[in-house]
C-alpha cells in the first residue's frame, strides 16, 4: 500500500515537472514602427508588425489581440490581429496587427492640445495590452507595449 502511494507521488511530481518544460510563454522580439499610415478626419488607421518567438516544442497560432491604443493615457482606439499567424516550434514569425482609432476619438484628444498640433509637433501614441496564441487547448499570451510619435501635419 505504501509503495503504490509513493509511486503515485513520484508520478505526480514528474508530471508537474514535464508540464513546466512543455509550456513557455511567447516572447515579443521586436515591434516595427507604424506603416501604411492613413490619416483622415475619421482618425488614424495603420499597420504594426510584431516579431514573436515561440520557445515551445509545438506550433502556436496567434489568433487575437487585446491591445488598446492611447494618446497621453486617453483611449483612442484598438489593435487587432489582421490574420491568424502560426509560429513553428522554436521559431519566430511576424504577426501583422491592424491599428485603428475610434471615430472622433483622436480629434477629441487633440483639440485640447491644438497649438502643438498647429505647430506640427509630434503626437505620442502608445499601444498597450497583450496578444494571445493557442495550441492544444492551451492559451499562451505575451504582453505588448509600443510607443511611437507621429507627426500629423506635413
Counted domains in the chain: 1
Residue 56 lies in a domain: yes
User: Is residue 3 in a domain?
Assistant: no
Q: How many residues can be counted in the chain? A: 154
Position 144 in a domain: yes
Output the pTM of the full model. Answer: 0.76
Note the pLDDT tens digit of each residue in 113-122. 666 666 667 7
Residue 40 lies in a domain: yes
Burial of 108-131, coded b for 16+ CB within 10 Å and e otherwise, reads ebbeeeeeebeeeeebebbbbbeb
The 10s digit of each residue's pLDDT in 81-112 is 999 999 999 999 999 999 998 988 777 777 76
What CATH number did the domain enclosing 63 receive? 2.60.40.10
pLDDT-based confidence at 15, cuts 50/70/90? Answer: low
Question: Which of 116, 138, 121 has the alpha carbon at shortest distance from 57?
Answer: 138
The answer to whether residue 18 sits within a structural domain is: no
d(CA 38, CA 103): 14
| Span 37-57, pLDDT tens digits | 888 777 889 999 999 999 989
**Three state DSSP letters for 19-86:** HHHHCCCCEEEEECCCEEEEEECCEEEEEEEEEEEECCCCCEEEEEEEEEEEECCEEEEEEEECCCEE
CA 55 to chain centre: 17
Assigned domain for 12 exists: no
Amino acid at each position: 500500500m505504501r509503495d503504490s502511494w509513493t509511486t503515485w507521488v513520484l508520478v505526480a511530481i514528474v508530471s508537474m515537472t514535464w508540464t513546466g518544460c512543455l509550456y513557455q510563454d511567447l516572447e515579443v522580439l521586436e515591434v516595427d514602427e507604424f506603416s501604411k499610415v492613413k490619416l483622415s478626419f475619421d482618425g488614424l488607421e495603420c499597420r504594426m508588425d510584431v516579431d514573436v518567438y515561440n520557445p515551445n516544442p509545438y506550433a502556436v497560432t496567434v489568433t487575437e489581440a487585446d491591445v488598446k491604443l492611447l494618446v497621453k493615457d486617453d483611449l483612442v482606439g484598438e489593435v487587432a490581429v489582421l490574420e491568424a499567424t502560426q509560429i513553428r516550434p522554436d521559431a519566430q514569425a511576424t504577426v501583422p496587427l491592424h491599428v485603428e482609432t475610434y471615430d472622433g476619438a483622436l480629434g477629441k484628444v487633440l483639440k485640447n492640445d491644438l497649438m502643438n498640433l498647429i505647430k506640427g509637433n509630434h503626437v505620442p501614441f502608445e499601444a498597450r495590452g497583450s496578444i494571445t496564441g493557442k495550441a492544444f487547448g492551451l492559451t499562451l499570451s505575451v504582453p505588448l507595449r509600443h510607443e511611437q510619435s507621429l507627426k500629423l501635419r506635413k
